[in-house]
Amino acid sequence: MATRRDKVNEVFVELINMQLKPHGKTYDDVKGDPDWYMRYNTTREYEQRFMKEGTELIRKRLHLNKKMAEMEMSWFILQWGLTTNEAFESIEKEVEVLSKSNKAKK
């Protein structure tokens, strides 16, 4: 019989698989890489869909109410969530602005 800890681990692996599906990767592909979640990125739209589907998975598998499942999913995203494309674009724009600003000062 599966313990609570076993169920949580199973859900964790399912969430990682769900998150990596668009990249054609699974938990088994990344489990030996401590920085795997930094190697892949996603869109805000996919992240929102992932949050919704992940919350439902947590609710069903771990028998949590919606609020608690949303909180667990938020923690998952905070710790293991992929970087969003928009974050990269924002950083690139910021670097470009700073670079131009520094050149103008010289």
Query: Which residue ranges make up each domain of the chain?
Result: 4-105
User: Do 84 and 43 touch, CB atoms closer than 8 A?
Assistant: yes
Residues paired with residue 84 on neighbouring β-strands, in sequence order: 42
Q: How far apart are CA 7 and CA 62, in angstroms?
A: 7
pLDDT of 32 > 80? The answer is yes
| 22 φ/ψ angles, rounded to the nearest 5 degrees | -60, -20
Q: What's the pLDDT band for 93 if we cut at 50, 70, 90?
A: confident
pLDDT of 87 > 70? The answer is no
Which whole number is the average pLDDT over 62-81? Answer: 96
Q: Supply the pLDDT for residue 89.
A: 67
Q: How far apart are CA 4 and CA 10, in angstroms?
A: 10
Which whole number is the average pLDDT over 61-77? Answer: 96
Q: Supply the pLDDT for residue 63.
A: 96
Q: Supply the pLDDT for residue 106.
A: 62
Q: Supply the pLDDT for residue 84.
A: 86
Q: Supply the pLDDT for residue 98.
A: 78
Q: Helix or strand or coil: residue 28?
A: helix
Q: Supply the pLDDT for residue 80.
A: 93
pLDDT of 58 > 90? The answer is yes
